[in-house]
Amino acid sequence: MLTGHGGNYHYWASVLGCPPDEIIDMSSNVNPLGPMDGLVERLRNRMETIGALPEADASGVIRRFGRRYGIDPARVLVGNGTTQFIYALPGILDCRNVLIFGPTYSDYADAFRLGGAALVHRLATPEADFCHALDDLDAEERDCDTVVICNPNNPTGNLIPRDALENFCRRNDRRTIVVDESYLPFSDAEETGTLLGSDLPNVIVLHSLSKIFRIPGLRIGFAISANPQLIRRFRQAQQPWCVNALAQEAACFLLDPQCPTDAFIAETRRFFEAEKRAMVEILSKEAGLRVFPSATSFLLVRLPAGLSASSVVEETVRTHRILLRDCSNFHGLDSRFLRVSLKTSEANRLVAQWLCRLARGIGKRGGWERFDFTGVSSAP
């Protein structure tokens, strides 16, 4: 199994000898306002469902998803998180050369590499705020039969507008374009920016319930395409009962038209917009720190020369029991990049102030001033 993601607070809890819930996990991109009211109670009341097999193909979930987004259910598949679909893609597409827009989530490259495909990376730069120019493919890229784009992108947070992305997909209609929209629900641009309802037959859209509703342990992801042949290939390769009974209960609850899902998402977006403004205001005052624009729930920060993300992450969790994400293992980023997944207002402000202190050079590793995080909890 490949590792190296955020959210490894269990490891640090064992190192520090503390309960996991004493660590504020700002390395994992989940919504601090979730889970939604009523969801946990619904699952408690439906625990008897674990005594029987769930629907083999989770067709009830698929129908509700289709109704919510106005999509023919025949175009939709649900699985054990979007990760299941990512690792199924190499076998489904039988691809040989894959173009990945980065720096981005490493599982795309890991999945296609395991499937035997050659990889080409189109890397955006800090000078361009990690925005990609969707110009014509160069000679090496033209050999690629598959393209992977995370939109908004993890860990940079940049968002490609729908018109530009659609035009790119149309110009490359002989290539399969995989668009991962797992973080799009955090953005006000979701309604106008999503490709969920696209009629482009060369596009596969990945959609997640895990991040926006803070239910990553339930593993609920979707794959959507207007191409019936692609959907048929996915369905033939998919194992039965890959979405467990409680995950299906949760998905049906969240996709029910009577559930106040839209109000919850709107509240989430307001919260993150306010928190991003506050964080940027603090961090931008230090010349040594650079924070990049983000359309979603996290911020990518470049540390000043002399500070490494690994040392900052370790010192922060050891001293304050707050876990940040070292981004040095993202292809295209170096040891000075870290990602801050926003949580409570108190935690966000205190982390911003702590990073500013480090940027001002308040001591070396092992001798940094101790910042008082007393009373900051991981609860929203």
pLDDT tens figures, 326-367: 999 999 999 999 999 999 999 999 999 999 998 887 544 444
Mean pLDDT, residues 108-126 taken together: 97
**What pLDDT, on a 0 to 100 scale, did the predictor assign at position 37?**
95
pLDDT band at 379 (very low <50, low <70, confident <90, very high): very low
Q: How far apart are CA 310 and CA 308, in angstroms?
A: 5
**Contact between 301 and 283 (Cβ < 8 Å):** yes
User: For position 132, what pLDDT does the model report?
Assistant: 93
Query: How many C-beta atoms lie closer than 10 Å to residue 196's C-beta?
Result: 21
The predicted pLDDT at position 257 comes to 95
Q: Which residues contact 111 (CB under 8 A, 6 or more apart)?
A: 86, 87, 89, 90
User: What is the arithmetic mean of pLDDT over 75-96?
Assistant: 95
pLDDT score for 6: 57
pLDDT over 70 percentage in the chain: 93
Burial class (CB within 10 angstroms; exposed 0-12, middle 13-18, buried 19+) of 189: middle
Residues 199-203: what's their mean pLDDT? 97
The pLDDT of residue 53 is: 96
According to DSSP, the β-strands at 24-25 and 322-323 are: parallel
Average pLDDT, the chain: 92
CB 303 within 8 A of CB 289: yes
Q: Please give the Cα distance from 373 to 380 (Å, whole number).
A: 16
pLDDT over threshold 90, residue 9: no
Residues in the chain: 380
d(CA 86, CA 280): 33
Per-residue pLDDT, 377: 43
Q: Which domains does the chain have, with CATH numbers?
A: 9-36+261-359 (3.90.1150.10), 39-255 (3.40.640.10)
Q: What is the pLDDT of residues 38-66, one digit of tens each?
A: 999 999 999 999 999 999 999 999 999 99
Residue 380's pLDDT is: 38
Q: Considering the entire predicted model, what is its pTM?
A: 0.93
pLDDT(4) > 80: no
Give the integer Cα–Cα distance in Å for 324 and 217.
20
- 113 close to 89: Cβ distance less than 8 angstroms: no
